[in-house]
Chain A
Amino acid sequence: MVTVEQLPDLVCPAGSLPALRAAVDNGADAVYIGFSNTTNARNFPGLNFEMQDVVRGVRYAHERACKVMLALNTYPQTENWHLWAEALENASDLGLDAVIMADLGLLQYAVSHYSNLPLHLSVQGSATNQFAIAFYYEQFGIKRVILPRVLSIAQLQNVIGATPVEVEVFGFGSLCVMVEGRCIMSSYVTGESPNTAGVCSPAHAVSWEETTEGRQSRLNNVLIDRYKPDEAAGYPTLCKGRFQTGSDAYYAIEEPTSLNVLPIIPKLVEIGVAAIKIEGRQRSPAYVATVTKIFRTALDAYQKNPQRYKPEQDWLTQLQRVSEGCSSTLGALHRPWQ
């Protein structure tokens, strides 16, 4: 009989204090947050934490045995470096449990100034193989790496076997098909990218128009998609638009679907994934509550009876309802070995 002694940590998004409480109350092992400025990759208007909210959030989470991690995962530039340096100081002062970073200079700064602060390598650090992870481990002693959503299960297993660093993978939410940290499509069209401004396809560049050919979405005036009258319209993220090489428009880069690893939780646990991350700091507290609760239930059900684990239809239906494009995929994880 197989027993599961250690479940992966369930790491949930918190774009606000209510979202943080929703994650904690529904069984997150850790939440991740960002300050309200360009220092994190979800730098959206009205989102994220001011200092006093961080204090309250950390207290709320710690009283309930939940960790709080800070996303500091954009790339500082020479003249605004001080924002990131201040954020590190605050992270240290406010008792955050880990800082999630990508910039080499900043990682080095953290090691030399705040040696007790546990460091996680952000998905924006583009580490897709064991040598890259070994580099970050050797130079900065990173405790955990969050892998880009580009590896298959077999590749993931191989990487986990070859590194002493904990491996965190994305389990649910928007699916980025590019190697994160190396995608500048957004700045090509709008001038702002995840690396430079903490945003992808920013809301201020979005416009909608009704035309005789249907409703259209644009990003900085570039036509991203055109919808038929009965078609549900989605947010015009660049890589999820319909474009054409010939006469027919199609999802040339990626369909607007969500990642969902619920069906392969046993495999992820078996190969030694240390943490499963839920995407969506930009989403509502209700989204956070729903997804956290279902993943908590699923992980606990698996631990209780690993042989009989099977995602319940009700979980999938609920997750489907909050999914982008109302459908889901295993992403690169389902690919056969090369």
Chain B
Amino acid sequence: MYLLWLRVAAILYAAASIAVFPAVLYGLTRWRKSCIHLTGLAILFHFVSAVEMLVQAHRWMPVGAREVESLLGLAIAGLFFLLWWLYETISLGIFVLPITFFTVFVPALSPDRYTFPSQGVRMSWLMAHISALLAAYAALGFSLLASVLYLVQERRIKSKFKFVPGQDSWWVPLDWMPPLDTLERIAHSTLEFGFPCMTVGLVIGSVLAQETPLGAAYFLDPKVIASFAMWVVYVALLFVRRSAGLRGRRAAYLSGLVFLIMLVVMAANVVSRIHRYGP
């Protein structure tokens, strides 16, 4: 049954991804309302599907790649909804909603087919580890997106909206972008939200790893090393932002670096021998 709910959610995300364009690009209120309602409904169905999926398959353990993908989609959509509620902007939805749709689309096609290898990891701490890290990844993604949009918006304002010869003004299609201050606040608040999530996720993961037969050797795995490197850069980013009020270009570059490491960490599941998706 969870697959049906997930498919409904995927269709709703697709509809919201379509509605967000006229809503943002042309400022059409009706489309904006439709987009918000569709996203809200999609999140509801997605949540029901996730709960059913986890209960039915592994007692709350998202260990298959598709399950994780689906949950990541839920985290992204949830964060988008939260940002809309806090900052009353859906402009990021132009990027976020299609990404959410594609994240959900593959898991919605068919269920994971694998046998769960170990009874030992069926505990709620593992669920907390995975959820916290997925939330941190989604937050990092949002922060990077907001930082990049900040750079574009800053460049537009600095260029004084000059015309490109022989064309219509290049800046008009970008008129939908939120103000610099809003983008800065989104970039900063999502970073601050993601940091405790990542810290908690890594700490729980470390404690769980200690309890495995591998013990300390677990921390020599490239995936685990990359995860801690990501955390260190994350701390540095937050520290510099706070102490020097770093924003703009340099903040975007730093966010980009953390995001890049995050992608490496996610990809490392494929090469890691001890930390990987279910077969």
Q: Do A and B come from one complex?
A: no
Binding site for B on A (CB under 8 A): none
Give the interface of B toward A (CB within 8 A).
none
